[in-house]
Each structure stands twice: as structure tokens, then as C-alpha cells.
Structure 1
Amino acid sequence: MFLKTVKLKDGFVPNTAIYPFSIPALAQLKELSFDHAVTFFVGENGSGKSTLLEGMADRIGFNPAGGSKQNFQAYDVHAAESALGEYLRLSWMPRVTEGFFLRAETFYQFASHIDEVDMTGYRDYGGKSLHAQSHGESFFSLFQHRFKGNSIYLLDEPEAALSPNRQLAFLRLMHDLLKDGNVQFIIATHSPILLGYPNSQIYHFDESGIESIAYSDTEHYQVTSYFLQHRERMLEQLFIDEDDE
């Protein structure tokens, strides 16, 4: 692993009335340790996981709208500045400069930027414009051709464009990279498939803070597992009319 810890800067006291410290998990951030090559951030929408990931990307030097440190530092995206980065302190051993930040929400703008600046014939994206590929194909082309060893990858909801089969293929791609190169992944996700990657670390974000959690204790696993085993019962409960109760 390259990145060892992330925490708020020494002596900084967050103002919980102002974003992003109005998010309870971030207001209570002390220090997160990264002890595994793959770490997942999970939690409800608005729990702070993507905000922290974006702040970390900003501190590393990646564009908070998505991209690498060297090539994609300047393109126009609404809210492309991190609200958290300036308050974070990252500890490294050793520090790494190679990698990528994927932000699913702004991937379209990233792809448009590549069309403007790429001079290699889209070498890192499967040989053609990301806009000339389906949404899922463009994501997977990035993973397959752009991701290399000796790098750190921060991914915000990479499953957004991937079918279940593509998610499994992505797990294999991760596994091959981790086996052959010195690579670290930190991933914010809602996918129970991705969360199943073996020997990974899972941090759960909620109003009580951030804590390490086992895969089988995640809501993503429990809800999905229950639905698959008890689909009819769950749908009946979900659709029941209040007047029928």
C-alpha cells in the first residue's frame, strides 16, 4: 500500500454548521488507516463517503472532477473543486504520483476533455473515443487500458455503468493488477458484488461516524441477500397499502 492514513489536519476544529462538516461522519473524522490493498467506503447517499474520496483525490493532486495527476488538471466541470481537501492530511510510505480518480458523476465531461486533448489515438481508452463507446464500455475501456501497476486508484461508484457481469470482470481486472503490480484501490460503492472482493477493508459511514465493518454486516449484502431469497415476500411488504394495514 502507498497511502497509509487520512485525517483532519492537526489542531483543526470543524464547524459542524458548515458543509462538509455538517455531514456527521466527516465532523467526527479522526484517522482512517489503510491496511489492505483494497478499501471500500460504504454508506447511504449523503453519508460523506464520496466527499471524503474527492477530498483525498484533491490532496493527491488529481482533478476532483476526475482524471490523473499529470494530464487532466484543467477542464470545466460544475463543482469540480473539493470542499474537504484543504482540511485533510495524508500519510504515505512511499508517496506515489501515478494513478487516477474516477468520478462517475462527471465521467461525460472527462470523456469530452479527452476528445479535446488526446494525441495518441486513444491509446489508453481502447483505441477510440470514450463517447464512441457505450457508457459501460467506456468505463471498462478506462479500467482495462489506463490502469497500470505502481499506482493508486480512487474510484467513486465505478459500478454505475457496469452490468453484473462487467462488475465481475472488473474484480478480475483488479485481481490481476494487484497480483502483478504494486497497486492500491480505494472505492466508494453501493455494489454488493464489488464489496465481495476478498481480503479487502470496508469502512461504513453513518451519523455515528466511520467504522470498519465485515462484508456480511453491510446493508448492501443483507438487503440484496434477503431480496434474492425472499423476493415475493419483500415486494408484498414493500407495496402494501397503508389502508390495508
Structure 2
Amino acid sequence: MLDPHSLYLRNMVLKREEVPSFRTYPFNLPAVHDLASLSFRKPVTFIVGENGSGKSTLLEAMAIAWGFNPEGGTKNFAFETMASHSELHRYLRLVRGAVRPKDGFFFRAESYYNVATTIDKLDMEKRGGPPIKASYGGKSLHEQSHGESFFATFMHRFGGKGLYLMDEPEAALSPLKQMSMLTRIHQLVKQNSQFVIATHSPILMSYPHAEIWLLDESGLREVELEDTEHYIITRKMMNDREKMLDILLGEEQ
């Protein structure tokens, strides 16, 4: 397991003096506006916040600055279906550890379909050698359900000793699969891997000894799982479902 001094990604710094304006996108987002730096001290870091807080934009910029394709995949993926990423990566400086990871993947639920399509296309054009899909379980990702294809990547393509940046990996996973993903994350952490995950899932956030960074109107701050709205609201809903539904549906007298 990696210690704080051997993490592959140790710090992220926003070059604020080079930002043209903090009044325009993406620099006006809560995730960016007051950001100076973010240090990584644990093998697993979660970035959480409401929709529109900028967590996915921040993770995307980190991935591009590291050398990943904006739409996801490994550093060898160079496809582009639509250039929709922001320019934030140009203003980030990543502080890397002394040891380089042997594996890496930028997983983003939003454009995972494009990654799967590119793998099939490259395999059709491939001349000799094993197909790329062999690294993803041997079956086309398009020939599986959305959740199954997600999990095939986690189980087969993630090989350990890697840096894995993940944007909402729970999007197609059932609660049971999310718990299975916790097991897989732990297996890979024990194989000297580092994760940075943007998520809404309190199940994933429950990974022990992880850092949880919350984005809200005040900027970026570290919190405990029990202090996140994700946990609080889910707990209230499950513990007092009838009262919550009365409030939500306007039936409370």
C-alpha cells in the first residue's frame, strides 16, 4: 500500500497568477474560484459536491494535465468525438511522486460509450496480436449491459500499481455492484494503486481511511462521510421514508 510519500499524484496547484479572469467559466466554478492547491495524502481521495459545483471539471482537468485523453481511457487513447473539455488543465501544475505508476486510466461515465466504441474500432483495424478487448475481459463492452461493461473495466483493465482517475463510476452500478467495487478498489490499493474519484455515492465514500473533499459555495474543504449531504439525506430517507415522502410529495399536514 502506498504511503503519503510514495503517492503518484501528490499535489495539484492552480497557477492563479496566469488565470485570465475568475469571472468566466471554468474559473468561476466553486471548485476553482478560490482554489490554491490540493494535496493528496491517502491512496483514495473522493471529491464530492452538488451538481454544478465543478468536481467533474476539476477531475477532467487533472486527467488531461496528467496526459489522459479528455474523453477517458488510457494515455494511449487519442480519439476525439467532441472537444467539449475546458481549458482548466492549462492552468494546473501537478506535483508527481518519485515513482511513476505502471498503469493508469481515466474513467468517466459520461463518455464511456465513446471509449467502448473506440476499442471496437481499433480491434477491427488491428493486424496481428491479441485484441484490445482482451484486456477488458475478452468481450466487446458494447455486448454487455452498461453496468457490466463498467465493471469489466474495473476488474480486468485496472491492473494495479496505477493511478486511476474516476468520474462518477457508480452511474451504472447497482448498490450491490457498488459494494463489489469497494472490494476491487481495496484489492488495487493493496497493489500500490492510487484513486481520485468524483462521486455522489455514499457507498463508495465509505471506503475506510479515504480523504473526502467537499465542494460547496465556500470552496473546497475536507469532511467526514457523516458530514456530507449524500450520507445525511440517504440516511434520513431510509430511516424515515414515510415522513420524507410526505414532505417531498406535499402530503404532510
Shorter-chain TM-score: which interval?
over 0.9
Aligned pairs for 1:1-245 (under 5 A) are 1-9=7-15, 11-13=17-19, 15-69=21-75, 71-73=76-78, 75-94=79-98, 96=100, 98-118=103-123, 119=126, 120-121=130-131, 122-179=133-190, 181-240=191-250
Q: Which moved more, 1:113-122 or 1:49-58?
A: 113-122
1:6-47 CA distances to partner (integer Å, 9 max, x unpaired)? 011263345122110121330111111100000000000110
1:174 maps to amino acid: I
1:58-85 CA distances to partner (integer Å, 9 max, x unpaired)? 000000110111x212x22223434310
- Contact 2:46–2:212 at 8 Å: present in 1 too? yes
> Across the two proteins, how many residue pairs are aligned to each other?
240
Structure 1 unaligned spans of 5+: none
Q: Which moved more, 1:137-146 or 1:6-15?
A: 6-15
* TM-score (structure 1 length as normaliser): 0.93
CA RMSD of aligned residues (A): 1.5
Secondary structure of the 1:193 match is helix
- Contact 1:37–1:184 at 8 Å: present in 2 too? yes
2:85 maps to amino acid: E
Partners of 1:95 and 1:7 in 2: CA distance: 19
Secondary structure of the 2:106 match is strand
Partners of 2:81 and 2:184 in 1: CA distance: 29
Offset at 1:96?
Answer: 2.8
Partners of 1:46 and 1:14 in 2: CA distance: 21
After the TM superposition, list the runs of 4 or more consecutive aligned residues in structure 1 that deviate by more than 3 angstroms.
Answer: 79-82
Partners of 1:226 and 1:14 in 2: CA distance: 43
Q: Which moved more, 1:218-227 or 1:91-100?
A: 91-100
Q: Percent identity?
A: 52
Structure 2 unaligned spans of 5+: 1-6
Secondary structure of the 1:211 match is strand
Q: Which moved more, 1:78-87 or 1:47-56?
A: 78-87
- Contact 2:16–2:36 at 8 Å: present in 1 too? no
Q: Closer, same or farther in 2 for the Cα pair 1:216/1:14, shift >3 Å?
A: farther
- Contact 2:161–2:188 at 8 Å: present in 1 too? no
Partners of 2:107 and 2:160 in 1: CA distance: 16
Partners of 2:51 and 2:100 in 1: CA distance: 30
- Contact 1:64–1:82 at 8 Å: present in 2 too? no
